[in-house]
Amino acid sequence: MEVPPPDVSSELVVLDVVVPAYNEALRLPDTLVLLRAALAELGVPCRVTVVDNASDDGTSAVVVNAPPGPVPVRLLWCGEPGKGFAVRRGVLASDARYVGFCDADLATAPAALAQVLNLLYDGADAVVGSRAHPESVVEERHSVLRRWGAVAFRGAVRQVVRGVSETQCGFKFFRNDVARRVFAPLRCGGFAFDVEVLGRAERAGARLVEIPVSWVDVPGSRFSPVRHGWQSFVDVAKINWWLRGADVAPVMPLVTLPVTPDVTGGTAAVGMRP
């Protein structure tokens, strides 16, 4: 694993991983253990930011009571319902050099974080985990409806995002300035928010790099083909309309970003509720 540390003080956060969480009290303890262990192996200062999306099952308490360790855990609150808005809350609150997100079920193995960091060091503006990558190891979906729905959804998404083969894998990381540029104007908070984020990134001229992932179909997904499937297609149509006429910009220039100190001050810091 080659992860050359950047030329910054060891007191600064290099990678911030946002985990959106809605009623994830049961899954979060194991997720935090595995995610923090993977981040600790990178050899650079990292942080986990859990964004409680108005849970009512004690999700916040799990984060507050997370045991101390080399990778701090921060808690933020997002009262606006929707995974996309929870991720935006965490991204815009981050002061790390690089920031991204993964799902609370950890369906994508965090071992890929080393490759993510190396690619960001090498000049990628965004690194996108893709189950469609030919080298990905993907467990077949348990639901036939979800499997066929995913194929149809990818076809619809091509009208918005053309440089990425798969948009919905919950494993995406960005240079901080790029993340702010694409998340600040986010309008879609539902499960199609990734499409808007990547569509905005493409149109901003960001260098997007897809990587293979190891992915398993974890039971208990918050996405329901019946309840959310049709709405996701509607949201893609809306995103296509919102981004209409936005020409792809020249490739973004390389930017050397100052990294500000981590101000969380402890293992778990509770964000103020609105």
Q: What is the CATH number of domain 15-242?
A: 3.90.550.10
Q: Are 81 and 53 in contact (CB under 8 A)?
A: yes
Q: What is the pLDDT of residues 147-158, one digit of tens each?
A: 666 677 777 788
pLDDT at 100 over 80: yes
Judged on CB neighbours under 10 Å (0-12, 13-18, 19+), 43 is middle
**Please, what's the b/e burial string for 77-92 (b: 16 or more CB within 10 A of its CB; e: otherwise)?**
bbeeebbbbbbbbbbe
Q: What is the pLDDT, as a whole number, of residue 158?
A: 86
List of E strands, the chain: 15-21, 46-52, 73-77, 98-102, 126-130, 137-138, 171-175, 208-212, 214-215
- Looking at the predicted structure, is the pLDDT value of residue 8 above 50? no
Task: Supply 17's token pair.
Answer: 């991983």
Read off the pLDDT of each residue in 67-73 and give the average, rounded to a whole number.
Answer: 95
pLDDT on residue 271: 32
Cβ proximity of 55 and 23 under 8 Å: yes
111's tokens: 């071992």
* Domain-wise residue ranges, the chain: 15-242
Q: In this predicted model, which residue has the larger pLDDT, 110 or 264? A: 110
The pLDDT score that the predictor gives to residue 249 is 54
Q: What is the mean pLDDT of residues 211-216?
A: 96
Query: Over the stretch 170-212, which tens digit does the pLDDT of each residue have?
Result: 999 999 999 999 999 999 999 899 999 999 999 999 999 999 9
Based on DSSP, count helices (H) and strands (E) in the chain, helices before strands.
8, 9
- Separation CA 142–CA 154 (nearest Å): 18
Is the separation of the CB atoms in 28 and 21 below 8 Å?
yes
Specify the pLDDT at position 152.
72
Tens digit of each residue's pLDDT (9 = 90 or more) over 127-149? 999 999 999 999 876 556 566 66
pLDDT (0 to 100) of residue 133: 94
Rounded to the nearest integer, the mean pLDDT of the chain is: 85
